[in-house]
Amino acid sequence: MPTEVILPKVDMDMATGQISRWFYKEGDAIKKGEPLFEIETDKAAMEVDAPASGTLRNVTGAEGVDIAVGAPVAWIYAEGEAYDAAAAGGSVETKVEPDPDVETDSKPAPAEAVPAVAQAARPEDAKQGAEGERRGVRATPLARRIARERGIDLASVTGSGPLGRIGRDDVEAAAAARSEVKAPQPAVAASKPDSVGTAQPAFSCTPKTAPAARAPAPANDTATPLAVTRLREGEGVPIVLIHGFGSETASWRPLLGEMTGGNPVLGIDLPGHGASLDQEADGFDGLVSGVEETLIALGVTGCHLVGHSLGGAVATSVASGTATDVRSLMLLSPAGFGPDIDTGFTEGFARATAEAPVRTWLRHLVADAGAISDGFVRATARGRADGRQADAQTRLGTHLFSNGAQHVSVRDLLPHLAMPVKIVAGTEDRVVPVRHFAGLPGRIALHVFPRTGHMPQIEQKGDVARLLHELTR
């Protein structure tokens, strides 16, 4: 029997979501666990893995339209399983209503707006105004994407979200208002006053009625300088994950599957990466302040910090500051502990947009090339294909590394940290040499794994999860 693929609920208050891109098309062979499609909500973007291996069929979830949580978007047929296209096309429609316990901020798209196969084209040349890209504009990742596609300058949009954050509805209202202005209109002498004598504007980007009062929002419902993804619900002190250079929150998925305990888990995308792609940082201090401001905006007064590579250096700096009470610190192959770094990788991967160089550089990070799956390579390459990540990360990289040297140093901060600290490194790391971690204070726990490269959270994910549990239990 074929396996149904549904639109999952990735946020606690999610009723509908949009598929921003499919990584496979109708008829493609896929393997269980490989990224199948990407969801965008008002809070974040997240990859969804294939629930089974087989052939992708009946792809009905279109890109860029609202789909109810739980609605089927495709089916996966096992090898040798019979597939009748005519029967599949005439099958009874399964109607899935939005979760009644969740407040929805948008209406599902009408059925006629959803094509049978997701092949929605994206405008290649629609550009957002420079002012809309600046850090000072608060907007959700989905709102930014829609604004780019429709040529809307976010600086001209009034946000109705917390702290004036611009959401999808705000951008769509602005686009509709602009269309009304462009359309031929009969001459109007002046706006007529309403019944109480207040003149009404011809149009407004602000909703006509204020949104109803809501209960306190979950962490990732709060306007933040950097994109935050709630990776796991739970209770207690949250675990905050900070990825490395050229990566994003989705890279934590292998480790997340091994993590035990009941702590909530949050992932932060650094400027120029993932869902924070539109955010800029002019150097290392900008990365650190972005994370600190995000934790403050979330109201995170205490957390366990985990950082990989560049994210490890950022996490160390955050732990040495006063933005939040860091209860423990885990650093995975962290930057900032020695003078040198493989700038061949940092520069080469930053420029990579095609699958072949992406594959080469990703496998450069691990001791065993088999640790990086073909699906992971393809998904990474697709995300970089438009060149936007390459541009952002190349700019950022010039502030952080050059000529084989790091411009970042956090080693001197370690003796002054009061929380427990674990450093995990690999003997075959070609990016950050394991010798960088010699001579650290005795109370710093150093765990060095043989036959391991720069990605211990993937290469030694079970052991890394166990070490993290020791810090957070």
- How much is the pLDDT for 116? 36
The residues with which 56 forms a beta bridge, in sequence order, are 76
Residue 41: pLDDT band by 50, 70, 90 thresholds? low
Mean pLDDT for 185-196 is: 36
Residues 6 or more apart whose CB falls under 8 angstroms from that of 207 comprise 160, 169, 173
Q: CB–CB of 300/279 below 8 Å?
A: no
**AA identity, residue 273:** H
Are the CB atoms for 454 and 431 separated by under 8 Å? yes
CA dist 53 and 5 (Å) reads: 12
Tokens (6 digits) for 96: 């899935």
3-state SS track over the chain: CCEEEECCCCCCCCCEEEEEEECCCCCCEECCCCEEEEEECCCCEEEEECCCCEEEECCCCCECCEEECCCEEEEEECCCCCCCHHHHHCCCCCCCCCCCCCCCCCCCCCHHHCCCCCCCCCCCCCCCCHHHHCCCCCECHHHHHHHHHHCCCHHHCCCCCHHHCECHHHHHHHHHHHHHHHCCCCCCCCCCECCCCCECCCCCCCCCCCCCCCCCCCHHHCCCCCCEEEEECCCCCCEEEECCCCCCHHHHHHHHCCCCCCCCEEEECCCCCHHHCCCCCCCHHHHHHHHHHHHHHHCCCEEEEEEECHHHHHHHHHHHCCCCEEEEEEEECCCCCCCECCHHHHHHHHHCCCHHHHHHHHHHCCCCHHHCCHHHHHHHHHHHCCCHHHHHHHHHHHHHEECCEECCCCHHHHHHCCCCEEEEEECCCCCCCHHHHCCCCCCCEEEEECCCCCCHHHHCHHHHHHHHHHHHC
Degrees to nearest 5, angle at CA 278 with 408 and 135: 80
Instruction: Give pLDDT tens digits for 419-429.
Output: 999 999 999 99
What is the maximum span of the chain, computed from C-alpha positions, in angstroms? Answer: 80
The confidence score (pLDDT) of residue 65 equals 84
445 backbone dihedrals φ, ψ, rounded to 5°: -80, 120
Position 169 scores a pLDDT of: 78
Contact 234, 262 (CB under 8 A): yes
Mean pLDDT along residues 210-236: 65
Q: What rounded mean pLDDT belongs to the chain?
A: 80
- Measured in whole angstroms, the distance separating CA 59 from the mean position of its chain's CA atoms is 24
**Residue 111, both tokens:** 């059925």
Residues paired with 422 in a beta bridge: 330, 445
Does 224-472 carry CATH code 3.40.1160.10? no
> For residue 154, what pLDDT band results from cuts at 50, 70 and 90?
confident
Residue 370 makes CB contacts below 8 A (sequence gap 6+) with none
If phi > 0 it is left, if psi is from -120 to 50 it is alpha, else beta; for residue 175 that is alpha
Q: How many CB atoms lie within 10 A of CB 12?
A: 14
What is the pLDDT at residue 445? 96
Which of 434, 426, 433 minimizes the C-alpha distance to 452? Answer: 426
Cα dihedral value 354, 368, 374, 307, nearest 10: -70
**Would the pTM of this model clear 0.85, i.e. be above it?**
no
Any bridge partners for residue 307, and if so which?
242, 331
The share of the chain scoring above pLDDT 70, in percent, equals 75
pLDDT tens, position by position, 344-397: 999 999 999 999 999 999 999 999 999 998 888 988 998 899 999 999 999 999
Q: Which CATH class is domain 130-178?
A: few secondary structures
3-95, what's its fold? OB fold (Dihydrolipoamide Acetyltransferase, E2P) (2.40.50)
Q: Report the chain's terminal Cα–Cα distance, integer Å.
A: 42
Give the pair of three-digit tokens for residue 89. Answer: 């096309």
In the block, tokens 């420079």 appear at 130
What band does 132 get if pLDDT is binned at 50, 70 and 90?
A: very low
Burial of 3 per CB tally in 10 Å (0-12, 13-18, 19+):
middle
The domain segmentation of the chain, as residue ranges, is 3-95, 130-178, 224-472
Least confident of 82-91, 206-215, 253-262, 373-382: 206-215
